[in-house]
Structure 1
Amino acid sequence: MYIRQTTLFSFEEIISFQQETKLEMIFSQLDISTLASSIRKSSSEKGPKGYDPVCLIYSLLAMQVERIPTIKDLVLKLKENPILRYSCGFEVLGKTPSESTFSRFLEKLAESNELETLFHDLVIKAKEQDIIDGNNVSIDSTKLNCYEAAVPKSKIIDDGTHPNWGMKRDTNGNNIRWFGWKLHILCDCKSELPLDIKITPASVHDGTVAIPLIKQFKNHYKNHFNTTYYSMDSGYDYDYIYNDIVNKFQGIPIIAYNPRGSYAPPEGLDEDFDPIYSAGYKLVYWRKDSDYIKFRCPHAVGRCNCPHGMTWCSNSNYGYTLKLNYKENPRLNGYPLRSSKQWQKQYNSRTSVERCNSRLKEYLNTDNIRSKGIKKAKMHALLNCIVLISGTIALNIKNQIKKVA
């Protein structure tokens, strides 16, 4: 007869000797006490005490890390995997929550504002560790499929809280249609981490969300960030976005130009958006004075040999000059110039938001919303954002310890 030898240490003691797991590293950077307290059942409420909200929150975060598709699968994993059970704070030999327990908890979590507060606190923590900069940000949206039953457009409730049909072009220019939501992300270009998010029905145009998202970002963080550059693709190329960023937020919009069917550059500008004068030569950017950008005659500064000379356009020995207030029409006469290396450098950083989207969807569980309603869709996105930032902080601390050692 085979007799199993007893172990000297308990399961918990054996686990404590092991190398720190990925989940433990992520959880170590989270302070969810306030969030748990806001959801925990008060002493005046009747009924069984239930499971500790801390353990339930950890379980939902673990679900995103391990890319567990459904609550049913999460319940099964917790039953079968003692290490996962232990990492989430449950008794190793105790009971684990049922699907209905998680379902009720998700309802409470979706109604709480503390999950969003936890996300913002993590962002500030990452900034304090110099992981996040916030001087350059980029904005973009990504599609989120909805597992609610798709309905025809004629039967969609258009109140901003129900999923609907959306269409977006992929990187190859192909039209993609889906039923569900859009996740709009304001992302830090340095760390490629999300700083703020909004969820809308899929049909909402990207351009209408940019300014509300920036306002939300400013309100959430107050004086924590001094953002200069806001980079976006041509889907955000609207006058009011430029004007608000420049005049309301004192920032610099770096947005790709959308010709919208026109076959020629705007009047007075060449294909690089530099001003030209009557002889057809490009004026030379000279300098920026306060709100004005100054251009000079190319013949006067030796950039070309105009057959008419300088006197054809100006009687001054200095040559023809043009001054433009870039705050009056920042879309066409913005600073830095669209043709400059500085503009292109900032625009190239826009791809940071695409990599942020990719990590949230390919390495985590963002594109796997199984709950109904816009509040639960946002809750799901926040859980994934929290995991991404917390994991980055934990990895940064680990690397710093290695350097010291």
Structure 2
Amino acid sequence: MYILQDSLFTLQELLEMESNDRFSIFFKELDLRPYAAMLKSKSPQGAQGHSREAILRALLIAPLEGYFTFTALHRRLDSDISFRYRCGFSLEDKAPSISTLSRTFRQLTDQGLLDQLFNDLVQRCWDEGIIDGTTIAIDSTAIDAYEKKRPKSRCQQKDEASWGAKRDSFGNLLTWFGYKAHLAVDTASELPVAIEVTPAHITDGEIGPSLVEKAAQSVSFTYVTGDAGYDQKRNYEVVKAHGAQAIIPLNLRNEKEPPSGFSSIGTPRCSMGYDMTYWGTDGSHLKFRCPHATGHVECPHGTTWCSPSNYGMVKKVDVDQDVRRFSQPHRGTRHWNETYKQRSSVERVNSRMKDHLTSDDLHVRKLKKVTTYIILNAIVLLASSLAAKRTIAQNAA
């Protein structure tokens, strides 16, 4: 069982708690004073001189409470004095206006403060052992735009929504107008460690390198796994540069035939044309043995065709000669397959952010604001996991 499976259930329990208990647990792990202090003085004050920290708390609790719009959040703050108090407003304070909430959100976006909070929480989860970091999974998910749909010919701006297409797990082609949220997720804890948001037409393979670089700023990892959409040499190279191994299926659609003497997955073939038997590693080399000697085929020439030894011919392949083709562990082995299966964790995180939080219902426009909105949802996951760990530890004490 992965490290934080219990905490994921605790997140569900957090959603089912009474608001007062939920707020206390959630905010206990968030010291927002340093971030609130960095907000420009004009952004949160408004006519009533509202607390910067209180507005920030309200914006962060909104995804957990299921509020998609500033209007809905304002109405709750205005009608529920207990909710307003729990967010940090004094009993005498009126609810911040819709324009105040919107203005604060915009300046959080302009100053990148939620990016900083997200990175700080990832670092805390890493330092406290919540994020394991052994394997990172990367993938993207479709985000429908709040903007009005436009024809492809008019989708020219880099910071605006565009048309995208992607196949689901059943092979069906899905199209949408909007954005892509690209996530790098720690597969053990199922927590995001890096996020990028792009217009929908940007391919996964293009964003892979920058997503890996972002993840490497916060955590150390041994493997990075992604689907065949990331099968580009630069993705393997950036993972290799961080001392890790990319676990990505080869996309063989445009490949006419494998290199001479090798199978499509990089297994060398003996002089009779049989795939040799993988026999472990030797430093940066993959070791392969004669398939007849290992009992995998019945060669009419036995081992004598290639080697005078009963051990059979041995071939070693340097993985560095083709970082895309060759992998440690070798492609097709149990270790490789089990590591690749962990890729599904990023799909579960995307589903959690859409089904339990609010990342699937945008009410902001333009790329920068959409990015901030997605990061808000990711912050909820990280803060909830920290709260879950603390609660479990206190209950066990």
* TM-score, normalization by structure 1: 0.87
SS of the equivalent of 1:39 reads coil
2:384 counterpart letter in structure 1? G
Instruction: Note if contact 2:250-2:265 (Cα within 8 Å) is conserved in structure 1.
Output: no
- Tell me by how many angstroms 1:273 deviates: 5.0
What is the 5 A alignment of 1:142-181? Answer: 142-158=141-157, 160-181=158-179
Aligned to 1:297: 290
Instruction: Note if contact 1:243-1:329 (Cα within 8 Å) is conserved in structure 2.
Output: no
Gap change, CA 1:275 and 1:371, over 3 Å in 2? same
Aligned to 1:109: 108
Residues paired across the two proteins, number: 380
Aligned to 2:386: 393
Q: Distance in 1 between matches of 2:267 and 2:23?
A: 53
Instruction: Note if contact 2:239-2:246 (Cα within 8 Å) is conserved in structure 1.
Output: yes
Aligned to 2:191: 193
Residues 211-243 of structure 1: CA deviation (Å, up to 9, x unaligned): 11112222x32xxx3211001011111222223
Deviates more, 1:58-67 or 1:194-203: 58-67
1:365 counterpart letter in structure 2? T
Query: Quick check: 1:348 aligned with 2:347?
Result: no
Q: Distance in 1 between matches of 2:45 and 2:181?
A: 38
Aligned to 2:35: 35
- Tell me by how many angstroms 1:314 deviates: 3.5
Aligned to 2:94: 95
* TM-score, normalization by structure 2: 0.89
Gap change, CA 1:106 and 1:226, over 3 Å in 2? closer
SS of the equivalent of 1:256 reads coil
SS of the equivalent of 2:320 reads coil
Aligned to 1:214: 212
Q: Distance in 1 between matches of 2:147 and 2:297?
A: 64
Gap change, CA 1:189 and 1:79, over 3 Å in 2? same
Gap change, CA 1:94 and 1:51, over 3 Å in 2? closer
Aligned to 1:324: 317
What is the 5 A alignment of 1:102-141? Answer: 102-141=101-140
Instruction: Note if contact 1:41-1:49 (Cα within 8 Å) is conserved in structure 2.
Output: no
SS of the equivalent of 1:312 reads coil
1:389 counterpart letter in structure 2? L
1:197 counterpart letter in structure 2? I
Q: Distance in 2 between matches of 1:153 and 1:212?
A: 26
Give unmatched runs, 5+ long, in structure 2: 1-17
- Tell me by how many angstroms 1:105 deviates: 1.4
1:359 counterpart letter in structure 2? R
Give unmatched runs, 5+ long, in structure 1: 1-17
- Tell me by how many angstroms 1:92 deviates: 3.5
Deviates more, 1:45-54 or 1:206-215: 45-54
- Tell me by how many angstroms 1:303 deviates: 4.1
- Tell me by how many angstroms 1:272 deviates: 6.3
Aligned to 1:229: 223
Residues 35-67 of structure 1: CA deviation (Å, up to 9, x unaligned): 11111417xx99856211111111111211111
Aligned to 1:381: 374
1:286 aligned residue (253, 265, 279): 279
Query: Quick check: 1:250 aligned with 2:243?
Result: yes
SS of the equivalent of 2:321 reads coil
Q: Percent identity between the aligned chains?
A: 35
SS of the equivalent of 2:88 reads coil
Aligned to 2:235: 241
SS of the equivalent of 1:209 reads helix
1:291 counterpart letter in structure 2? S
- Tell me by how many angstroms 1:266 deviates: 6.1
Q: Distance in 2 between matches of 1:281 and 1:269?
A: 10
Q: Distance in 1 between matches of 2:212 and 2:200?
A: 20
- Tell me by how many angstroms 1:368 deviates: 1.9
SS of the equivalent of 2:267 reads coil
Residues 118-143 of structure 1: CA deviation (Å, up to 9, x unaligned): 11111121122221111210000011
Instruction: Note if contact 1:133-1:190 (Cα within 8 Å) is conserved in structure 2.
Output: yes
Q: Distance in 2 between matches of 1:272 and 1:38?
A: 52
- Tell me by how many angstroms 1:287 deviates: 3.0
- Tell me by how many angstroms 1:19 deviates: 9.1
Gap change, CA 1:211 and 1:46, over 3 Å in 2? closer
SS of the equivalent of 1:360 reads helix
Q: Distance in 1 between matches of 2:65 and 2:19?
A: 18
Instruction: Note if contact 1:168-1:176 (Cα within 8 Å) is conserved in structure 2.
Output: yes
